[in-house]
Amino acid sequence: MDLKQLFANTEKLNSSEYELGAFIKNRITSLKTHAANNLVGLNIKTDFNYASVWFDQSKISPVIDKFIKYAIDHTEQKKTITLLITSNPEYWQIKITDFENKKILQCYKCKNWQLFKRKEELEYNFAKNIFCKRLIKMCNGKILINHSSHTIALKFPSKDSPENVHQHTAIQIESNPAEERTDTLFGKDSQKRNSTKPLVVLADSNKEFRLYLEERLSKDFIVKSFENGLDALECIKEEYPDLVICDIMLHGMYGNELSSRLKTSGETSVIPIILYGSHIDTGQRSKRESSLADIFLYIPFHVEDLKTEMNVLIRNNRFLRKSFLERIFGKKFLEVEEDKISDEENYGLINQVKEFILKNIDKENLTIDEIASELYMSRTAFFTKWKALTGEAPKYLIYRIRMEKARELLESGKYSVNVLPEMIGLKSLKNFRHKYKEYFGITPSESIMKKQ
């Protein structure tokens, strides 16, 4: 990218929220090679544990990189540069202390030399780098040099102007019969949603980081946080949240085990899970795979990235749940008049039917008569009741659930086509292939390829 292109891309700021410590560590990591080539060490000190700041990463990163590179280039070999990172509600800064090499001043130009004798700390700008000079102005940044204490600081505001801030569209879960039915049929009969905000369970044994995340997420989500994996599991089974976020390292139960338990339980398998941890080594890779989590984020991660993944998972999950109900119980199921499916007794009946079929899905000769018997109803009474609740006859109910379960198992990537028929109660492989193609319009093998 040439200079003209770079300038063309700096017309507008698009700021997002970042955890300052994680962001600076990432910048330092990218400069480690440059420092090593100059035989210079880099060290970081902060006056905070976690700090949230707003800026445009694409604009501010080149300025920070250039600032640190200048320091590296003007430091004697085998010495270490200590970067002091400080933050408060108004501004944050990177300060280099005890800097003795005066040649670094050639990299900067004082904005007002007339104040040189009257002020110890003066504002400077980049002397020759036009691009960084423009970027630091756009970001409302300052370069401050104190000649008496030999410090050089790069300073920025903690919050950006509202017009520059990238805004996520917060998810609002509407209060209507269709949403309530979807919630109830995938959760507990006793669960009642009392807010339009999605419910999120957060589990992390690091109290400071957990409280930081809870604070950053609470504007758009109802967050219930735990330091113990067992406590989180109990809450999830009781509350049935829209999303679970957890660290791998938890007290009571590791995060990967918590995730695995949720994903292998018929009651909670549909709840989306975000698992996070350090960069994957051999052990972490195994934990990530066994966890069955929907998303794995590496520490450090940015709050904006987390919010994006949360929004995508919750939206997709709610869409898939509705689609599943329409495919299994008929397209009119969620449109049935509210007074026909409003009491908990009816919800319980539908849940019983769904759970009974899934529990006995490997039985080839499973019939509607067995379902009616499980409910202590005659076949005729069950037929009439089901038609009233879902808008259609129960004739194809077992068939649909078999097919949907087959697709779920295939797309998990854990099972081959050959073992699927017996798992869903269709003993003949040829018959299974035929019915799958008839139902979905593609073969089982094509379904696997499509998912990949």
Position 35 confidence tier, pLDDT thresholds 50, 70, 90: very high
Position 342 confidence tier, pLDDT thresholds 50, 70, 90: very low
Class of domain 177-327: alpha beta
Is 337's pLDDT higher than 50?
no
How high is the pLDDT of residue 344?
Answer: 53
How high is the pLDDT of residue 93?
Answer: 96
CATH 3.30.565.10, the chain: domain bounds: 3-163
| Higher pLDDT, residue 259 or 16 | 259
Choose among 159, 154, 111: nearest CA to 136. Answer: 154
How high is the pLDDT of residue 82?
Answer: 92
- Neighbour tally for 24: CB within 10 Å: 21
Average pLDDT of the segment spanning 334-361: 66
How high is the pLDDT of residue 358?
Answer: 83
How high is the pLDDT of residue 4?
Answer: 47
Position 94 confidence tier, pLDDT thresholds 50, 70, 90: very high
Is 288's pLDDT higher than 50?
yes
How high is the pLDDT of residue 446?
Answer: 85
Core vs surface per residue 163-192: b (16+ CB within 10 A) or e: ebbeeeeebebeeebebbbbbbbbbeeeee
Q: Which two tokens stand for residue 43?
A: 């060290």
Position 333 confidence tier, pLDDT thresholds 50, 70, 90: low
Position 168 confidence tier, pLDDT thresholds 50, 70, 90: low
- Neighbour tally for 248: CB within 10 Å: 23
- What pLDDT digit, counting tens, does each position of 374-394 carry? 888 888 888 877 777 666 667
Q: Percent of the chain scored above 90 by pLDDT?
A: 28
Helix axes of 282-291 and 255-263: crossing angle, nearest 10 degrees: 30
CATH 1.10.10.60, the chain: domain bounds: 336-451
How high is the pLDDT of residue 331?
Answer: 56
3-state secondary structure the chain: CCHHHHHHCCCCCCEEEEEHHHHHHHHHHHHHHHHHHCCCEEEEEECCCCCEEEECHHHHHHHHHHHHHHHHHCCCCCCEEEEEEEECCCEEEEEECCCCCHHHHHHEEECCHHHCCCCCEEEEEECCCHHHHHHHHHCCCEEEEECCCCEEEEEEECCCCHHHECCCCCCCCCCCHHHHHHHHHHCCCCCCCCCCCCEEEEECCCHHHHHHHHHHHCCCCEEEEECEHHHHHHHHHHHCCCEEEEECCCECCCHHHHHHHHHCCCCCCCCCEEEEECCCCHHHHHHHHHHCCCEEEECCCCHHHHHHHHHHHHHHHHHHHHHHHHHHHCCCHHHCCHHHCCCHHHHHHHHHHHHHHHHCCCCCCCCHHHHHHHCCCCHHHHHHHHHHHHCCCHHHHHHHHHHHHHHHHHHCCCCCHHHHHHHCCCCCHHHHHHHHHHHHCCCHHHHHHHHC
Is 327's pLDDT higher than 60?
yes
Stretch among 99-108, 277-286, 337-346 having the lowest mean pLDDT: 337-346
Position 340 confidence tier, pLDDT thresholds 50, 70, 90: very low
* Domain 3-163 is found in CATH 2.60.40.10: no
- What pLDDT digit, counting tens, does each position of 71-88 carry? 999 999 999 999 999 999
How high is the pLDDT of residue 181?
Answer: 63
Q: Which two tokens stand for residue 221?
A: 């989500």
| CATH number corresponding to 336-451 | 1.10.10.60
| Higher pLDDT, residue 58 or 186 | 58
How high is the pLDDT of residue 438?
Answer: 87
Cα-based angle 328, 329, 334 (whole degrees, multiple of 5): 120
User: Cα–Cα distance between 192 and 276 in angstroms, integer?
Assistant: 29
How high is the pLDDT of residue 281?
Answer: 54
| Higher pLDDT, residue 451 or 39 | 39
CATH 3.40.50.2300, the chain: domain bounds: 177-327
Position 195 confidence tier, pLDDT thresholds 50, 70, 90: confident
Is 435's pLDDT higher than 50?
yes
How high is the pLDDT of residue 291?
Answer: 81
Average pLDDT of the segment spanning 401-427: 85
Beta bridge partners of 243: 200
Is 52's pLDDT higher than 70?
yes
The mean pLDDT value of the chain amounts to 82
Average pLDDT of the segment spanning 409-424: 85
